Amino acid sequence: MASLIIRWAGRLALLVSCLHGVATYAEQSLEKPLVVAVAANFAGAAEQLAADFTNKTGVPIRLVIGSTGLLYAQITQGAPVDLFLAADTDRPLALVTQNFGVDQSYAVYTRGRIVLWVPGAEDVPDPEAFLTVVDSVALANPLLAPYGRAASEVMARFPGQSAGLRVVRGQNIGSTFTQIASGAVPGGFVALSQVLAKDISRQHYRVIPEEWHQPIEQALVVVNNQDMHPAAQSFRDFLLSKKASVMLGALGYVVEGG
């Protein structure tokens, strides 16, 4: 009888040890942040969506903000990223093609709009008139930032007015916003979401017609790495949910089907 009790005591101790290990692993999984690389234009929206997701799931999220081009390059060089929210479709598709992205996870999550922002204007003129009277204009680098590419397409519609201008190119749309806000340039092209987030008066910006440039479709993809976060797919699905679409519509984005 004594030996039987000793054997059962040993098994119980082993079970308790295993359960403790499982609990510890689960706790570590919750504490491990989900790393999301986010295009600069989407930083404000991503912060709100990430906070909402964390409140519901307990999963912490760390956002890495930058231009789509630079974030893409960092991912291909092995940066520890779980999910990529780009400002275009080309880079996420390229990640899938190169096996850096999970094929079935690719999706377009929103479409962006650009505006001409002139802080000192009482009533912002149309781009043609603005480009005629200024000596410089700011936009994001078209090679790195899709919003900059869209801005350059708008300027290309007015070659006579754009020819002699000093073009100040920011590394991403966030730095372009900062350049304009500082007064370094009289105005330039930024995201509609940025001026709405800063509650900038409608008289200081003009929304650019979408037909003046290629659509700014923004796609996401789960990054295919060896240590994939278990919540990466869940956050991806949340970003494509109806609730997220409603939030994005209020933040200055065009939601799919909207």
Residue 227 pLDDT? 87
* 162-217 tens-digit pLDDT: 988 999 999 999 999 999 999 999 999 999 999 999 999 999 999 999 999 999 99
Homologous superfamily of domain range 114-207: Periplasmic binding protein-like II (3.40.190.10)
Q: Where in the chain is the domain with CATH 3.40.190.10?
A: 32-111+217-250, 114-207
As a whole number of angstroms, the distance between CA 79 and CA 152 comes to 30
3-state secondary structure the chain: CHHHHHHHHHHHHHHHHHHHHHHHHHHHHHHCCEEEEEEHHHHHHHHHHHHHHHHHHCCCEEEEEECHHHHHHHHHCCCCCCEEECCCCHHHHHHHHCCCECHHHCEEEEEECEEEECCCCCCCCCHHHHHHHCCEEEEECCCCCHHHHHHHHHHCCCHHHHCCCEEEEECCHHHHHHHHHCCCCCCEEEEHHHHHHCCCCHHHEEECCHHHCCCEEEEEEEECCCCCCCCHHHHHHHHCCHHHHHHHHHCCCECCCC
As a whole number of angstroms, the distance between CA 126 and CA 208 comes to 9
As a whole number of angstroms, the distance between CA 145 and CA 170 comes to 9
* 201-214 tens-digit pLDDT: 999 999 999 999 99
Residue 3 pLDDT? 52
32-111+217-250 maps to CATH 3.40.50.20? no
As a whole number of angstroms, the distance between CA 238 and CA 232 comes to 10
Average confidence (pLDDT) over 85-103:
97
Whether 82 contacts 55, CB under 8 Å: no
pLDDT of 20 over the 50 cut: no
Residue 256 pLDDT? 64
* Closest to 153 measured CA to CA, from 216, 214, 73: 214
* 110-138 tens-digit pLDDT: 999 999 999 988 889 999 999 999 999 99
Q: For the whole prediction, is pTM greater than 0.85? A: no
Q: What is the CA radius of gyration of the chain?
A: 24
